[in-house]
Amino acid sequence: MKGLRVLGLLLLLLAVLPLTSSAEVGSWGVGAFLDYNVPTRGFAQWYGSGTKWGITGSYVPSEMVTVEAEFHREEMKGSELKTATFTWNDGKAYTSPNVNSDMTINSLLLNAIVRLAQKGEAFQASSFAPYVAVGGGFYRYKNTVSGLLWPLQKDALVIEMEPFTDQRFALGFNAGLGVEAFIIKNVAVDLRARYNMMIGDLRPLEDWEISETFPLQAVDIGAGLKLYFGGE
């Protein structure tokens, strides 16, 4: 829902900001996006798919390149740990019915968007440009787990482990492909698919056969709205 509010704010900006006849070299832009995010490899043992939202600020230094600053936030719940099992002293496999986990990720990134081609007059209605996007920056993530049953108790499965949290600052990078399609002059829909990697880790849970997760990897696909103004 926060992502939809950000998109709504961008539409409000569209209504009040003066637009130039075309967004050329030297133009600035603002945008918002909503993505479908899927953890991969070891990260997928912790969480399934989710959504993330973000805002962007852009500058166009040349006809083929846009520099983009990006902030995004992601909240993941409904942990895959709910189906993870451990073997108790009776030789049977058990889950932890009260397990709960959630993870938040905030990032501040700097991306380069390199256009591969330009179809139609740039930044005008019905024009579009496929591109390659690469970037990197800083991530802060927090993963909290509670309700895991303690596998070493002897008489009955009633004791839960103490809640724990993994919290880190990490570097990371992303790379992907996209297309920017202008629906009206200076206003574009941005479609993008990316691979993301954070140089961070989540602790191992050996009794549940979950090894240390490093690095944290995910792919996402999403759509955004961008508004350009200023320029020559």
Return the closest-CA partner of residue 18 out of 230, 232, 185, 231: 230
CATH code, 87: 2.40.160.20
- Residue 41: what pLDDT? 92
Structural domain that includes position 162: 2-230
Q: What is the pLDDT along the chain (232 residues), one digit of tens a residue?
A: 444 454 454 444 444 444 433 346 888 999 999 999 999 999 998 998 888 999 999 999 998 899 999 999 999 886 778 889 999 988 899 999 999 999 999 999 999 999 998 887 777 777 888 999 999 999 999 999 999 999 999 888 889 999 999 999 999 999 999 999 999 988 999 999 999 999 999 999 999 988 999 999 999 999 999 999 876 5
Q: Rounding to the nearest 10 degrees, give the CA dihedral for residues 113, 188, 139, 104.
A: -150
- Residue 121: what pLDDT? 77
**Total Cβ atoms within 10 A of residue 55:** 19
3-state secondary structure the chain: CHHHHHHHHHHHHHHHCCCCCCCCCCEEEEEEEEEEEEEEHHHHHCCCCEEEEEEEEEECCCCCEEEEEEEEEEEECCCHHHHCCEECCCCCEECCCCCEEEEEEEEEEEEEEEECCCECCCCCCCCEEEEEEEEEEEEEEEEEEECCECCCCCCCCCCECCCEEEEEEEEEEEEEEEEEEEEECCEEEEEEEEEEEECCCECCEHHHCECCECCEEEEEEEEEEEEEEECC
- Residue 118: what pLDDT? 81
Q: How many domains does the chain have?
A: 1
Q: How far apart are CA 135 and CA 197, in angstroms?
A: 11
Q: Say what the pTM is.
A: 0.82
Token pair listed for 120 = 């139609």
In Å, how far are 57, 99, 135, 231 from 87, measured between CA atoms? 51, 16, 43, 64
Return the closest-CA partner of residue 135 out of 87, 171, 163, 168: 171
Q: Which amino acid is at 171?
A: L
